[in-house]
Amino acid sequence: MKPILIRGGHLIDPSSGVDSPRDLLLKDGRVAAVEAPGKLKQEGAEIISAKGLTVAPGLVDIHVHLREPGQGYKETIASGTTAAAAGGFTSVCAMPNTTPVNDSPEITRWMQAPERGAQIRVFPIAAATRGSMGEALTEYGALKGAGAVAVTDDGKPILGDSIMRQALAAAARAGLPVIQHAEDTRMTGGCSMNAGALAFRLGLRGMPAEAEFGLVERDIRLVAELKDARPHLHVAHLSTARALDAVRRARRNGLHVTCEVAPHHFVLNEEAVGEYNTHAKMNPPLRSEADRQAMLEGIIEGTVDAIATDHAPHAAHEKEQEFERAPNGITGLETALGLTIAFLHQKHKLPLSRVLALLSTQPAGLLNLKGRGSLVVGSFADVIIFDPKKQWTFRASDTKSKSKNTPFDGWTLTGKVVFTISEGRIVYRS
């Protein structure tokens, strides 16, 4: 692997607090040196000029659906990680709602095999229960040994109190977070968007906010009961103000409770459904404007730990049907950085270092991805080089993903990826 010397860029590394001009040397898949401009030399290195650009740790997405095994017509590990690289991501954590469900060490290892053609690092998240049926726990220790970084039944909740208590306790012993898809499905059967006046006008059954915050509050009570075991509860794709309040209170009480928010939940509200736009259908659904503002507040104040895309590709024929029948989910890997910079950095004045922390350093820390989300010497050579001021138009037709189900087709975004480097390999250049 040829060394890479990145010169003339502005380095932002939230893990070390660096926010100034620096040159960076990558060698043997690791960060070999970080020095003031002009000080580094390396015989035979590939030189990348980053003049006028920002150099930062590669982005880390802890919530993606790569659809393999079993649903390769929507996405493959190869195509999904190619899209991720184009979006500046160097690590993604793949959810287990595949076919079959990733509930075994064998499938966990299969997802990481070189034959899958991953362009960047894939960290599997394994099912918390067998078949994600919510009845019997999987073998957390064996799954961790095979490479799983967390457990979840994402796509479904862990609904029963007893099984959730068992999952939190067992995961704490194994040193894994439990990621909860917070949806009380006893309240959401047949529902396809947020409950409210718009759903009523459209004649659609609405998902009440209580279906989310009620389960979050239940889970936090269980974490409190198991406090001595120090379980880690992570709330996936949080979308309601009251669920966010519950996380705030849990933190104040010293509980290890964390959460993520997807870009679509701080950029869009339920009005994006418009006239039954299936590209605005996801679970949790786009919420009220008050909930959207609450997500922004939670990000800005620091309650939200990470921005995660919930990249959920679907084939065109699946989305091109009646709203209630269309599957939930949108793609997000190639739009996350541009949306986050446009809405959080430019519009709401969140410092770029905070934006990058939410997209790299903090998510890596949540799932204990050692050596990721950082550019200190010895870290993996995972780097994004981008122009934070460049405006560009996202075209779904140009996506690297196999699927085009996005509400952001034709949007003007800010922040253009120029290079993505994964473990010392250039995996994307514009």
Question: So which residues are the catalytic ones?
Answer: 310
- Give one DSSP letter per residue of 107-176, joined into a string: HHHHHHSGGG--SSEEEE-EESBGGG-SSSB--HHHHHHHT---EE-TTS----HHHHHHHHHHHHHHT-
Choose among 258, 219, 221, 206: nearest CA to 236: 258
Per DSSP bridges, beta strands 18-27 and 30-35 are antiparallel
Q: Round to whole Å and give the CA distance between 285 and 304.
A: 18
Phi/psi-derived region of residue 360, left when phi > 0, alpha when psi is between -120 and 50, beta in every other case? alpha
Three-state secondary-structure class, residue 392:
strand
- Give one DSSP letter per residue of 249-294, joined into a string: HHHHTT--EEEEE-HHHHH--GGGGTTT-GGG--SSPP--HHHHHH
Q: Round to whole Å and give the CA distance between 366 and 387.
A: 27
> Are the C-beta atoms of 262 and 237 separated by less than 8 Å?
yes
Q: Round to whole Å and give the CA distance between 176 and 5.
A: 36
> Are the C-beta atoms of 124 and 94 separated by less than 8 Å?
yes
Q: Round to whole Å and give the CA distance between 181 and 176.
A: 16
> Are the C-beta atoms of 371 and 380 separated by less than 8 Å?
yes
C-alpha distance from residue 375 to each of 56, 89, 145, 194, 260 (Å): 7, 14, 26, 41, 23
Phi/psi-derived region of residue 354, left when phi > 0, alpha when psi is between -120 and 50, beta in every other case? alpha
Residue type, 272: A
Choose among 360, 347, 265: nearest CA to 305: 360
